[in-house]
Amino acid sequence: MTVVYVVLVLYMLRGWFQIPYFNSEQETVSTPVSVLIAARNEEENIARTLDCIVQQDFPKELLQIIVVDDHSTDKTATIVASYASRGVTLLSLNEGDKLNSYKKLAISRAIAQASGEIIITTDADCRMGRGWLRTIVRCFEETRAYMVSSPVAYDEEKSCFEQLQTLEFLYLIGLGAAGIGNKNPTTCNGANLAYRRDLFYEMGGFNGIDNLASGDDELFLHKVAEKYAAKIRFCKSKEAIVYTDAKATLSAFISQRRRWASKSTKYRDKRVVCLGVSIWLFNLSLIAGLLQFVVDLPNIHVLFLLAFGMKLLVELVFIYPLCSLVNRHFLLVYLFPLSFIHAVYLVYIGVAGNVGKYDWKGRKVR
């Protein structure tokens, strides 16, 4: 299993290096864009996010901003409404407690009102540099992509726990980018995802994946990849990065990862399933090796240390260029403990994410 894991990570590393850094030579953009945000009880974050978007170095006549308020019980809608004079449109859901997938409904409603040729989704707790929109749209225009996934990173960490999450999250973003580089897209993040509006309707929107709370990003990516894998790009650029926050508590972190893992039951691409199962089995075998190491069984020490050493080395090689992308090399000091912690939590989440319900924005969903 160690050999399988090392080969898989090196294959992903190949995919990462298959993607060139995006440096646009264009000075202008000409494609109209609609930026969509589904927000629920985000009064502490939404103003900062909207400030980042309305201050983009992007032609105002080409930019539409739509925020869908998902039954917020705080001042989210009021804050969004105060941005009406700055070009922000507020939509509100009024479905009550009838659905399992409110976010997909919110995005679908927003797309129905969108005028842009390109749809860009982000979250209500994100920050971006002023060149974010221009970079992504140039990527579309120069590569003729149908869908563009772009980097997401944590920042402004307040604890070692949050810094551990930042390093682990970079690994996940790297896997998503590498899959695209290998022409076998596996994952992406809805906090920084863009696609052509006509593609959304050609794919039937979220039909077929709308019974799951999560998956407006990753499962839709899989739908597109079935037909247009070669038309999916990853925008490897510092200017394209969206920044968000790590989870402050362990319970919030576990709930988030259970939500992400719940999507795996809907994967239709057997290659993606095999990749996930292989990584899960490797981590399970590593935990078994650790337990054998602790109880001092004969001949286990060398095998376990060799397996863990190979895991640590190949992960260092993979994650180093990702740390370079976000200028966070100091995070590598956490790689040694993270390799142990990651194995345990991944095995747990692989099971817990596919059974029962979890909490998301104050709702129990599946």
Radius of gyration of the chain, Cα coordinates, nearest whole angstrom = 21
Q: Of 125, 92, 79, 151, which is closest to residue 256 (Cα–Cα)?
A: 125
* Whether residue 153 is found in the same domain as residue 199: yes
Q: Which domain holds residue 52?
A: 21-256
Last residue of a domain, one of 231, 256, 281: 256
* Whether residue 53 is found in the same domain as residue 77: yes
* Whether residue 249 is found in the same domain as residue 334: no
The pTM assigned to this predicted structure is 0.89
Question: Residue 366 in 3-state DSSP?
Answer: coil
Last residue of a domain, one of 205, 226, 256: 256
* pLDDT tens string 39-75: 999 999 999 999 999 999 999 999 999 999 999 999 9
* Whether residue 121 is found in the same domain as residue 187: yes
CA distances from 61 to 33, 65, 115 (A): 10, 11, 11
* Whether residue 99 is found in the same domain as residue 161: yes
* pLDDT tens string 147-199: 999 999 999 999 999 999 999 999 999 999 999 999 999 999 999 999 999 99
* Whether residue 192 is found in the same domain as residue 339: no
Q: Answer positive or negative: Cα dihedral of 216, 123, 128, 257.
A: negative
Look up residue 260 and give its DSSP letter: H
Q: Residue 19 is encoded by which pair of tokens?
A: 């993607």
Q: Is residue 221 part of a domain?
A: yes
The span from the CA of 248 to the CA of 93, in Å, is 28
Q: How many domains, the chain?
A: 2
Q: Is residue 180 part of a domain?
A: yes
Block means of pLDDT (10 residues each) for the chain, length 366 residues? 89 96 86 96 96 96 96 95 96 77 90 97 96 96 96 95 95 94 93 97 90 82 94 97 95 85 69 77 82 67 83 94 95 92 84 64 56
Last residue of a domain, one of 256, 280, 299: 256
Residues 6+ apart with CB under 8 A from 307: 1, 2, 285, 286, 289
* Whether residue 76 is found in the same domain as residue 160: yes
Q: Which CATH number characterizes residue 203's domain?
A: 3.90.550.10
